[in-house]
Amino acid sequence: MAKSQSKKKKEDSSCPKIGVYVCHCGTNIAGSVNIEEVVNFSKTIENVSVVRDHMYLCSEQGQNIIKDDIKKEGINRVVAACCSPRTHEEIFRKTLNSTNLNKYLYEQVNIRDQCSWPHFKDKENATNKAKQLVKSGVYRASELEPLEDRKLSVLKSALVIGGGISGINAALDLARGGYQVYIVERDPSIGGKMAQLDKTFPTNDCSACILAPMMVDVSNTPNIELLTYSEIEDVSGHIGKYHVVVRKKQTSVDWEKCNGCGDCSIVCPVKVDNEFNCNMDKRKAIYIQFQQAIPMKAVIDKTKCIKCKLCEKRCQVGAIDISKNDDEFVEFDVGSIIVTTGYDLFDPNKKAEYDYDHPNVITSLELERMMCASGPTKGEILRPSDGRKPHTISFIQCVGSRDEKTNDYCSRICCTYSIKHARLLKEKYPDIDMFIHYIDLRCFGKGYEEYYRMAREKGVKFIRGRISQVDSIGDRLEVSGDDDTLGEQISVVADLVVLAVAMESPKGTKKLANLLNISTDKTGFFKEIHPKLKPVSTDSDGIFIAGACQGPKEIPDAVSQGKAAASAASSLMSKGEIEIEPLFAQIIEDLCARCRTCESLCTYKAIRYTEEDKMEVDIALCKGCGVCSAACPSGAIKANHFTTKQVRMQILALTGGNK
């Protein structure tokens, strides 16, 4: 049996008999490209035996046409002129495999994205370009070689970077599936931004009531190892076996002994701004991050500690040792990685016109902490300047969002959380006037429209128009801007101004992206492979993203993505091995001069010089980008599936040459 397969592959490789299949894709392609002209042109290209067109090639009927031609017409190469290989290549490859034709004897020509869409008003040029791309694809297909996938073992363990709501859900789902999970969180406790919230829209559930049980569940799950107050130091290896180095920041507290009693904080004489409460009150130099922290352990802020050792003397279990200064390093291997690093909030100081330096101009998160019973004002809304209850509150939307000078994207959650704040405050303080100044209200989720209507019914006033300036008038604030409905300038005199600040990519995103070899988009968030079909996958196999680190989103979407990433990681690890495409570089040893040019240029660190005086390619790390092959001065590197000969044939076709 093996011999017959080998003979078949040899025939496939040496005797090109190509089938060209042109897709209409409804009017996506046929609306701008003359399909009949492309079909007739394709029939004139050398080595083309069959040419057909179909309304939807990716449909079952379209795939069956290709299968029948392979079986009945003896087609041994397939060129499909259709849409993007990023979304549909695998469908066609599986079709070839089902007929025992090697799936790498397939070439896809993207005449939708590259011809029809960019030239939709110029049918002649779109058609001519499509013909040239088809010719290029056929020329390349004639030089394609059969290749075989390789198998790699995969460790059944995962790393989750970030302990917010998305990361918690991902970790719990994986742990319930029997996988070992490591959570690395840079703060002393897991919980993320959700831990700072009072209520969550649209149901007004208590945030802690939802989040705290899940945090405890993480702590009590035996196959989850929690590494808080820690950061990723290094990541190496490849899909199936990533080697991770984590730096555990020194706490000077033995967490094995610490029982979270809080006595150490009581005697500490040093008071500093409390970041968890948005610097609106004070914490001690030794502290527990918040009341429901997991782990419930004390941390010493080394930058603020005066080394008086009062905490050390007070600790009844002997958990504190001020003399400890060195960070610890933990190393382990995992099969997959999920990144859930969350978001940061826009710095409103960048919008000087809103006078954020004024004590009574606050951010939405600062208001959130005020509204929380465990917050700096114990749930009461008080003006920071004098501690009095405000009589008029103005909410300014899109601070740092939908603005070409800051961020041009919409942060998605701001409209609804401002409505939440105004509605909850109106219920508690019916006498306070609430104004929400908005550009466009974007309450898009399930139950959000009803949530907005209820706020209106309770007396919250909505004014459409941009705010241009916030000015001090005595002990009050004048909010000036447009009212687009009335078509005039307006001003509201308020006691408290709340800025709905944008979500931004968290600090350290670029550094982490470089460590993991994954991409970020123009806004700084981690970039997914495809926003619809692969929203949690990255361009590094085995590494997934979830939650707000991928882009602004509310809690339900963050949870959904965390679970989706866990499912993708589980699917990868479940069998204990995976198949990888053979699209990697190969060293031709007889030609290699060991100059190591390739090693220095490889972004993925896939090429190394061995003790045996050889250059070696790690096929699991190699992405087949071709940089090494192009740079090799002696032509000693072959890029599988994109060989020099195959690329030259494409160029020959596009420049009007013949074989």
Q: Residue 607 falls within a domain, yes or no?
A: yes
Q: Residue 651 falls within a domain, yes or no?
A: no
At residue 3, the pLDDT reads: 37
Check which CATH number belongs to the domain holding 429 and give it.
Answer: 3.50.50.60
Please count the structural domains in the chain: 5
Check which CATH number belongs to the domain holding 107 and give it.
Answer: 3.40.50
**Contact criterion met (CB below 8 Å) for 472 and 355:** yes
At residue 14, the pLDDT reads: 62
Q: Residue 657 falls within a domain, yes or no?
A: no
Q: How far apart are the first and last CA of the chain?
A: 36
The answer on 497 and 390 residing in a single domain is yes
Residue type, 551: G
The neighbour count for residue 487, using CB atoms within 10 Å, is 8
How many Cα atoms occupy the beta-carbon half-sphere of 360 within 13 Å?
A: 27
The answer on 338 and 316 residing in a single domain is no
The answer on 486 and 353 residing in a single domain is yes
Point out the domain boundary residue: 504, 520, 538. Answer: 504
Whether the ω angle into residue 295 lies within 30 degrees of 0, i.e. cis, is yes
The answer on 299 and 393 residing in a single domain is no
**Which residue bears the tokens 């700096």?**
376
Q: Tell me how long the chain is.
A: 659
The answer on 254 and 403 residing in a single domain is no
Rounded CA separation 549/453 (Å):
31
The answer on 460 and 509 residing in a single domain is no
Q: Residue 659 falls within a domain, yes or no?
A: no
The answer on 371 and 354 residing in a single domain is yes
**Contact criterion met (CB below 8 Å) for 33 and 39:** no
Residue among 317, 307, 301 nearest 256 (CA): 317
Handedness of CA 491, 496, 502, 504 (dihedral sign): positive
Rounded CA separation 317/310 (Å):
14
The answer on 515 and 465 residing in a single domain is no
Point out the domain boundary residue: 116, 149, 182. Answer: 149
The answer on 44 and 80 residing in a single domain is yes
Q: Residue 646 falls within a domain, yes or no?
A: no
**Which residue bears the tokens 């939807």?**
56
Q: Which helix (H) or strand (E) holds 573?
A: helix 555-573
The answer on 481 and 376 residing in a single domain is yes
The answer on 64 and 39 residing in a single domain is yes
Give per-10-residue mean pLDDT for the chain (659 aa): 39 77 97 98 97 97 98 96 94 97 98 97 97 98 96 97 99 98 99 97 94 98 98 95 98 97 98 98 98 98 96 97 95 98 98 97 98 96 97 98 95 97 97 97 92 96 98 96 95 98 97 96 96 93 97 97 98 93 94 95 91 92 92 95 94 82
The answer on 377 and 487 residing in a single domain is yes
Q: Residue 653 falls within a domain, yes or no?
A: no
Check which CATH number belongs to the domain holding 635 and give it.
Answer: 3.30.70.20
Q: Residue 477 falls within a domain, yes or no?
A: yes
List the helix and strand counts (H, then E) for the chain.
17, 34
**Contact criterion met (CB below 8 Å) for 540 and 518:** yes
**Contact criterion met (CB below 8 Å) for 161 and 122:** no
Print the domain residue range for 609. 583-640
Point out the domain boundary residue: 149, 182, 216. Answer: 149
Q: Residue 539 falls within a domain, yes or no?
A: yes
